[in-house]
Structure 1
């Protein structure tokens, strides 16, 4: 409830203080039992004005930096004031030059809680938030069961031939054969010519008489040829080819030789291997015979 000022004469303008008048009454009496009539400052001022207090000027809520005249009425913070001396308001409220008509009443008791309103509609879907940081790696799971046996794969290509094994031990000497017939101009021993650096080609010459032997160690690819021979003598030329420890040197045998079986024998290129060949002629080199 509002409190009125102690001097009732302040409720009307100074020019009309001769009689006090009812402050306010409803324009229509309530006809419904239990109905209420709300009294407001605006109603009050309107009643005063209609009953001879028309000199008041209701200006509403107090405002800063505003010019006010005598008999202006303003409100502030729930209280009502009458301007008694004209002034211009400052930046903040000041009750100087004002007379209090009504002050704000004490706050009433808390009313009963009203019924809960209906639930409002669901709001729109919010935007997707940023992706959170990656979690820590979980523990390693148990080992799964072994899978079934796969199909057999295709057989791989044959690998390269490995190096030849070392030369075996010397075999036992065979029995001595029967003595041959004495040869014409036969000699007790066959001379041997050793050549450890034959180059890329080597000519093998039959002896001027009797037999001869050559012991050759190639140091590069080697091509051989035959020459010589004495007509009317059966001469033999024996050839020993020794591959060095490095090995791998191809040896091409003489051309125009008739070999046993129709094909020239193979000269080994394996390191440390020895190949022994025999060549012969009985017509002075017109025909050469060869074999192992």
Structure 2
């Protein structure tokens, strides 16, 4: 998961390409240079687990009405100041703001066994990696997804799509559905949250081209990404992939470091009308 550069190692997983000295942890707080090799700090470590309705991911067009075992760890390769799950996404192995995380250690085989038990008792369809950014724990997701594929259970990702091409293409054959957060449709918005718009757009395109079920979510924040022109451009671009690609417009509420007032419902309704001129399925969330 790395290449050495002098005394440092380079993590190639996402666009940050962190150059890390021995013992140094990357931007995501979940990957570290250990003796010249980038290691995952959150491999098999869970902060959250629940059997959720698939619609909560949100996935409205992938096995609607079903439930899925949903797992979270810690770390994220964005710095969204409005994050809803900041106590785990902005945490590292040592916790968040001086508070240690409750961590359970599991193996991919144990996750698959739990998913199978829930399939028998609760109709579970597989495993969703969610709550924090799952791709910063790439190795655990990959190892578990391969085993889930072998037993006929689905693997779902709820992700920001900040992943380099080779890593993404290596994982996609084992992924059944994704909801990718398209945070905004300008690089200036991505500068605010510490990411790269082109990378997320490429992740959406590659997943769709690979036959993965794709849905997209945009959290609408007043004064930041709520213009009709920006939504029209986003919807037009998504329609270029497929007019059938579902878009979820989610209502923002003040959280973490941002106290911008909540998104008016009228704004979401207006943006849905704009997007529906190009896309067949536009859903509103958090209202």
Q: TM-score range by the shorter chain?
A: under 0.3
* Structure with bigger gyration radius: 1
**Larger helix share, 1 or 2:** 2
Q: TM-score, normalised by structure 1?
A: 0.23
TM-score (normalised: structure 2): 0.23
